[in-house]
Amino acid sequence: MASKTSATEMKRTRRNARMGRKRKAADRTKGSTKSQKELFD
């Protein structure tokens, strides 16, 4: 069985990787650069 410390560290690693998943996915698919229409309305 894993020690309590290593289990906690793994949970933190996984949690941090999960955080912002939607935002990161959106950046990958849509990109973070504003469109010409958004910039010059």
Tell me the average pLDDT across 25-39.
Answer: 88
Q: Residue 10's pLDDT is what?
A: 96
The reply to whether 22 falls in a domain is yes
Strands (E), the chain: none
Burial letters 20-41, b for 16+ CB under 10 A, else e: eeeeeeeeeeeeeeeeeeeeee
The reply to whether 23 falls in a domain is yes
The reply to whether 1 falls in a domain is yes
The reply to whether 34 falls in a domain is no
The reply to whether 39 falls in a domain is no
For the cut 90, the answer to whether the pLDDT of residue 8 exceeds it is yes
- Name the residue range of residue 6's domain: 1-28
Phi-psi region of 32 (alpha: psi -120 to 50; beta: other; left: phi over 0): alpha
The reply to whether 35 falls in a domain is no
Q: Residue holding tokens 């949970």? A: 11
Q: What's the whole-model pTM score?
A: 0.49
Please tell me the total count of domains within the chain.
1
